[in-house]
């Protein structure tokens, strides 16, 4: 979502980094471009002006002008301002005084509340907290069926009733009773979408709040709707007293201004961000990590957390043993590909690597295409177990059969085997301590 903003900001700071000393004119020229980049990202012009003003105030001091690396100091100032703009610090869910704690999910029509409710339940289960999903969206056709289908997919219980559209508060109260009987930690109430100007429906949410006493009232905001999302958040907060926001579709291709300014304008922290369509594509929101991503500095902590979710300590030790003994084969490689796919798209994973953004423009077209990963996996899956363990003994006739089974051609199979052989050569040299000349080998471009 922040791709254009990241490109523009890294370009500005790249030019600053080439200067040994910064003058006020240099800072002013750079900040004009920063302000333009924020405006093009759909940041409110008043907010952009405030942010740039604070950056300039800090950036023209003597410490900056006489610093060893003034360009990097300006980057640090901009990073800190972005962190403050995004909320300053991380905010987790706060349980209520009694069990179960209630989460009231609210938002505009089409913002993704139902999907976000299921994703949140899965997130809580990963933290060893059981929850019950309560289907209280009685107005949208098939909303209850959608939540129930998601619950079955994720093995999370769902409470539903056949009730009239104006009985949502009653259904939610009955669902809370069921949650108490089940002894779950959280009751997540999926409410119907509504416009913030619809007084009758907003009144229904106020009644539900009064009846349930929720510990959290989370507004699901579509990050792709721009400043309209910020305006809606303000109105919902006035009527309900929001405790947090969930930004959905943060992986979209919109400009991202709403994500940058919604907390600054409303004072309500972003607690979670939806970063994909898969059920596990919901992340706790960390302003400092997001600011680092926007500035092209990567996000190592989130990357490590994703890896830890997919790779157990035992698997990691076994993989390390195979690397040391150069016993890594195509069966192991296929397992690594599956783990990589579960972590998200290749582009989203690589953007967390510090410095990747600056060199991504030099990659060949399609280098980050997830389709290439799927083709490689199809080729390996078309091999027999023996072939996966002995890739160096795959003959021409076998390659032809593998290509036919995977819907590719023999040249694709040859390319994979050649690149894998190159990677094995690198591993053998690393295992033997012979590091010279490795840069000329290159890693395989799967």
Rounded Cα gap, residues 136 and 113, in angstroms: 11
- Domain identity same for 152 and 240: yes
- Domain identity same for 192 and 269: yes
The domain of 66 spans 3-85
User: Per the domain annotation, does 41 fall within a domain?
Assistant: yes
User: Per the domain annotation, does 271 fall within a domain?
Assistant: yes
- pTM higher than the cut 0.85: no
Ramachandran assignment for 267, one of left (phi > 0), alpha (psi -120 to 50 degrees), beta (any other):
left
Residue 31, Cβ density class (10 Å: 0-12 exposed, 13-18 middle, ≥19 buried): buried
- Domain identity same for 145 and 266: yes
Number of alpha carbons in the 13 Å side-chain half-sphere of residue 199: 0
Query: Domain with 53 in it: what CATH number?
Result: 1.20.120.140
The predicted pLDDT at position 82 comes to 86
- Domain identity same for 255 and 135: yes
User: Per the domain annotation, does 90 fall within a domain?
Assistant: no
Could you report the per-residue pLDDT of 248-305, keeping only the tens digit for each?
A: 877 665 556 667 788 888 889 999 988 778 888 888 888 888 888 777 766 666 666 6
- Domain identity same for 132 and 159: yes
More confident residue, 56 or 106: 106
Listing DSSP states for 278-303 in one string gives STT-EEE--HHHHHHHHTT---HHHH
* Coil/strand/helix, residue 106: strand
Rounded Cα gap, residues 134 and 113, in angstroms: 12
- Domain identity same for 141 and 105: yes
Could you report the per-residue pLDDT of 109-155, keeping only the tens digit for each?
A: 888 899 999 999 999 998 999 999 999 998 887 889 999 999 999 99
Choose among 213, 131, 113: nearest CA to 178: 131
Contact of 86 with 5, CB cutoff 8 Å = no
User: Per the domain annotation, does 242 fall within a domain?
Assistant: yes
User: Per the domain annotation, does 112 fall within a domain?
Assistant: yes
Cα Rg, the chain, nearest whole Å: 26
Residue 161 has what DSSP assignment? Answer: -
Choose among 369, 350, 265, 272: nearest CA to 3: 350
Query: Domain with 406 in it: what CATH number?
Result: 1.10.260.30
Q: How many domains does the chain have?
A: 3
- Domain identity same for 110 and 203: yes
């Amino acid at each position: 979502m922040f791709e254009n903003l990241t490109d523009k900001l890294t370009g500005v700071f790249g030019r600053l980094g080439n200067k040994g000393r910064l003058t006020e004119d240099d800072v002013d020229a750079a900040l004009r471009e920063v302000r333009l980049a924020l405006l093009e990202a759909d940041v409110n012009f008043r907010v952009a002006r405030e942010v740039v003003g604070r950056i300039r105030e800090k950036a023209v001091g003597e410490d900056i002008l006489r610093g060893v690396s003034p360009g990097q100091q300006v980057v640090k100032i901009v990073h800190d301002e972005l962190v403050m703009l995004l909320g300053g610090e991380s905010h987790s869910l706060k349980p209520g005084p009694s069990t179960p704690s209630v989460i009231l999910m609210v938002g505009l029509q089409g913002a993704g509340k139902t999907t976000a409710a299921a994703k949140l339940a899965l997130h809580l289960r990963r933290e060893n907290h059981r929850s019950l999903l309560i289907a209280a969206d009685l107005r949208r056709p098939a909303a209850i069926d959608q939540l129930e289908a998601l619950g079955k997919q994720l093995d999370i219980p769902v409470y539903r009733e056949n009730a009239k559209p104006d009985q949502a508060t009653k259904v939610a109260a009955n669902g809370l009773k069921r949650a108490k009987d089940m002894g779950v930690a959280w009751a997540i109430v999926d409410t119907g979408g509504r416009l913030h100007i619809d007084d009758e429906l907003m009144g229904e949410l106020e009644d539900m709040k009064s009846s349930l006493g929720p510990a959290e009232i989370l507004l699901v905001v579509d990050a792709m709707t721009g400043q309209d999302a910020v305006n809606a958040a303000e109105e919902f907060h006035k009527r309900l007293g929001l405790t947090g926001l969930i930004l959905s579709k943060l992986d979209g291709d919109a400009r991202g201004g709403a994500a940058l300014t919604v907390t600054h304008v409303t004072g309500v922290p972003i607690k979670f961000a939806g970063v994909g369509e898969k059920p596990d594509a919901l992340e706790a929101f960390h302003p400092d990590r997001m600011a680092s991503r926007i500035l092209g500095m990567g996000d190592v902590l989130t990357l490590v957390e994703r890896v830890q979710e997919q790779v157990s300590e035992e698997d990691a030790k076994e993989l390390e043993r195979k690397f040391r003994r150069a016993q890594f084969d195509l069966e192991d490689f296929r397992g690594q590909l599956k783990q990589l796919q579960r972590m998200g798209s290749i582009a989203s994973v690589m953007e967390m690597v510090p410095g990747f953004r600056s060199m991504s423009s030099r990659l060949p077209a399609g280098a980050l295409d997830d389709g290439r990963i799927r083709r490689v996996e199809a080729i390996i899956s078309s091999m027999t177990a023996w072939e996966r363990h002995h890739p160096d003994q795959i003959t021409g006739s076998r390659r032809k059969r593998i290509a036919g089974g995977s819907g590719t051609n023999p040249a694709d199979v040859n390319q994979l085997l050649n690149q894998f052989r190159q990677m094995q050569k690198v591993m053998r040299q690393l295992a033997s301590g012979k590091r010279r000349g490795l840069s000329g080998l290159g890693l395989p471009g799967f």
